[in-house]
Amino acid sequence: MDLATIVTALDLKVCCGADKLNRKVTGGFTGDLLSDVMAHSGEGDLWITRQIHQNIIAVASLKDHAGIVLVQGSEPARDTLEKAVTEGIPILVSDRPGFETAGMIYDILKVRGG
C-alpha cells in the first residue's frame, strides 16, 4: 500500500513530501508520547498523532516512518514543517479525529493489504 492511496482515500491534506507519496506503508501507529512512539513503532509505519512540535520529525526520521498524519485538522508548527522538508518526511493532515483516522487507515491496510 502506498501513501498516495491513503491520501486519496481519506482526502488528506499534503503539507509537505508530495514527491514521496509513492512510499510504502506497512503498518500504522497512533501515539502522542514521543518516548512511546520511539519504543514501539516500526519502520514503514504511518504515524498518527496530535503532536505538532518539531520533535516529531526527529522521531519519524529515526524510526523510518512512511509519514506523519496530524489529526483533528492540526497544522504543523512552522519549524516542524521546515524540519520535515529537510528530513524528507511527508506530513499529512486529517480533519477527522485520531480514532477515525486510525480506523480508516487500518481498514485500508487490512482489506487491501499492506
Partner 1 sequence: MTLREVKDILDAEVLVGQEQMDKDVRTAFGADLMSDVLAFAKAGSLLLTGLTNPQVVRTSDVLDIAAIILVRGKKPSPETLTLAEELKIPILTTKYILFETAGRLYQRGIVGCMERVDEERARP
Partner 2 sequence: MLAHETTLYENQFPVEGGNFDKAGQVSSQIKAILKRMNLSNEIIRRVALVSYESEINIVSYARKGYIHIQVKPDYVLIEAIDEGDGIPDLELAMQQGWSTASQRIREMGFGAGMGLCNIKNFSDFFRISSDVGKGTQLKMVIKIDKVFDGI
CB-neighbour burial class of residue 74 (10 A; exposed 0-12, middle 13-18, buried 19+) = middle
Q: Is 79 in the site for partner 2 (CB under 8 A)?
A: no
- Residue found by looking up cell 477527522 in the block: 96
Taking alpha carbons only, the member of 86, 85, 69 closest to residue 32 is: 69
List the single partner that 85 binds among partner 1, partner 2, none, CB under 5 to 8 Å by kind. none
Site string for partner 1, 11-50 (x = CB under 8 A): ----------------xxxxxxx--x---x-------x-x
Determine the interface stretch with partner 2 among 8-16, 51-59, 61-69, 99-107 (rule: CB under 8 A): 51-59
Using CA atoms, how far residue 70 sits from 60, 101, 111, 113, in Å, is: 13, 9, 23, 23
| Contact footprint for partner 1 (CB under 8 A) | 27-33, 36, 40, 48, 50-51, 72, 96-107, 110
